[in-house]
Structure 1
C-alpha cells in the first residue's frame, strides 16, 4: 500500500522550504555589482505601471486581474498531484481526498453568495497566513507577518477610496469598512517590515532587501489590485510553482498533460465564478472573478495538509481493525 504524504513533510513545505525559480534565488549575485533577475523584473514592471497615465489605470487594473487568473492561479493546481500521489493504491482514499478538497471550494463559493463581506474578511485572513510562508525562510515570523499584511493593506494609505470601492465591488456594501482597519494596521506592519530591511542591508543581504523593498513599494505606490498582482504573479506564484514542480512532478509525469489539466481546471473554476455574476459589467465581473476564484482555491489549498492527515488517520484506524 502506498504511503500517504506525511503531515510533517507537508508542514515543512508549508513553512516555506520552497525551491525558488531562477528569478528569485535567495543567494546574493556572484558579481557584487550585478543586478539580480528578481530586482530587474520587479523594477521594470513597477516603473512601467508608475509611468502610465491615470486614464490607463482602469484597464491596467482589469489586466492585473486577468494576470492573477492566467499567471497566478495555476500554481495551486499542483494540489492535484498531491492528491493523486496521496491516494495512490486506493481509489476510495483518492475519492475521499478529492471530495474533501472540492467540498471546501464549494463551501467557499456558497459563502460568497450568502455572506460576501464575511467571505472577503475570511479570504484576507487566510491569504495573510498563506503569504507568510513566502518569507518564513528569512528567519523572522514577525517579519513574515509584516510583509504578508503589508502587500494587502498598504494600498489603504494612498488609495483608500479606490480600495473601499474594490472591496464593495467584491464583498458587498459593508465591505468598504475593511479599508478603515487596514489604514490602522498598514503603517505599523509596514514600519516593522522596513526595519527588517534596514537590518538586512546592514548584514549584507542587499539582494533580499531590495527585492522585499520593491514588493512593498508596489502595493504602496500603485492603485489597489495592481501592486498585489505584481507580488502574486512575479513572486508568490513562481516560487510555489517551482516548489511544486520539484517536489511533486517526477520523470513519469508528462508535463504537457499536467499543464492541460491545469488549464482546463482553472478555466472551469473561472467560468463558474464568472457566470455567477451576470448582472454587472464585464470589467467588474473580471475583477470580482479574479478575487473570488483565488479565495475558492486558497481555502482547500491551505487545508489540504489537514484533510490528508484526517484521511491518513482514518485509513490507519481501518487497517488496525482488520
Structure 2
C-alpha cells in the first residue's frame, strides 16, 4: 500500500473516531480547546504551504537573489490584499474564502476522480457543519464578518447542507466499486463534518487530511531532491509566517482571546491560500500532482 493510501486510511479511522467521541459533546469549544486547535492548525496544518518555494523554483526556474525577491513580492502582495479585503469588506472576504477553500480542497481526492466527486468533496468541511451546528457556524463567522453577514451566510449553508448531503451519498455510491479508497475518505470527512463541532472538524481535516496529503505529494513531486533539501525550502517561510502571526496576535491584543484566535487562524489562512493556490493549482492542472 502506498504512503498516500496509508495516510487516507489513518485519516479515515481518526475522523470516524473523533466524530464518534464528539456526538455526546457540546458544539462550542472552550478557550483551552480553542488554544489547542489553533496550535494544531499552526503547527501541523499551515506548514504544508511552506514548501511553495520548491514549486516556484520548479515552475519558474528561480535561481538568483533577484528572482527570489520578485517571488517573495509576488507572494506577499496578494496575501496583503486579502487582509485588506477583510478590513474593508469582511462579508465579501468570508464568502470568497469559503469558495476558494472549497476549490482548493477539491484537489485532495486521488487522481482520476470525477469533477462531481471533487466538487462535493471540496465542500464537505465547508457546507456540512451547518447541517447540525448552524448557530455555532454563525457565531464563528460573526468574529470574521459581523453578525448580520454571518447569520445570512450560515443560514444559506444550512439550506445547502441537505442537498449537499444527498450529493455526498450519490458520490460515495457512484465511486464505491471503482474507487473504494476515495469513497471511504469522503464518508469519513462527511461524518466528521456533521458530527463534530465545526472547529474540531476543520482542524482534523486540515491537519490530518489536507496538510498531510499535500506534504506526501510534495515529497513525491520533489523526486531526486533529498528530504533535507526539501525541508530547507520550508524553514524561512515558516519563520516568516510565525513572525507575522505573532505580530497579528499582538496587534489584536485588545480583542477577546477567542475572537483573536479565530481571526488569526482564518484571516491568516485566507491570506496564505491565494498565493498558495496560484502555485499549487498550476501543478495540479498540469498533471504533475
TM over 0.5, yes or no? yes
Cα pair 2:104 2:277 within 8 Å, conserved: yes
Preserved CA contact (<8 Å) 1:62 1:287: no
Query: Which of 8, 20, 24 does residue 4 from structure 2 map onto?
Result: 20
Q: Name the structure 2 match of 1:60.
A: 33
TM-score, length of structure 1 as denominator length? 0.77
Contact (CA 8 Å) 1:78, 1:248: kept in 2 or not? no
Match of 2:55 among 82, 100, 103: 82
In structure 1, stretches of 5+ residues that fail to align are 1-18, 25-35, 309-322
**Partner Cα separation in structure 2 for residue 47 and residue 23 of structure 1:** 20
Give deviations 1:279-315, integer Å, cap 9, x for gaps. 222232112211111101001111237999xxxxxxx
Change (3 A) 1:239 1:307: closer
Structure whose alpha-carbon radius of gyration is higher: 1
Which of structure 1's runs of 4+ aligned residues deviate more than 6 A?
Answer: 305-308
Q: Is the 8 A contact 1:155 1:220 kept in 2?
A: yes
Which of 126, 142, 145 in structure 2 is aligned with 1:168? Answer: 142
Residue 122 (structure 1) aligned with residue 96 (structure 2): yes
The 1:262/1:175 distance shift into structure 2, 3 A limit, reads: same
The 2-side partners of 1:255 and 1:101 are apart by: 19
| Structure-2-length-normalised TM-score | 0.85
- Note the aligned Cα RMSD (angstroms): 2.8
| 1:241 has 2:215 as partner | yes
**Alignment partner for residue 249 of structure 2, among 253, 274, 278?**
274
Contact 1:83 1:94 (C-alpha < 8 Å) held by counterparts: no
- Listed as ranges, the gaps of 5+ residues in structure 2 are 284-289
Aligned residue pair count? 278
How far apart in 1 are the matches of 2:279 and 2:160?
29
In the other structure, the counterpart of 1:47 is: 20
Distance 2:227 2:35 in 1: 38
Q: Do 2:128 and 2:165's aligned partners in 1 also have CA atoms closer than 8 Å?
A: yes
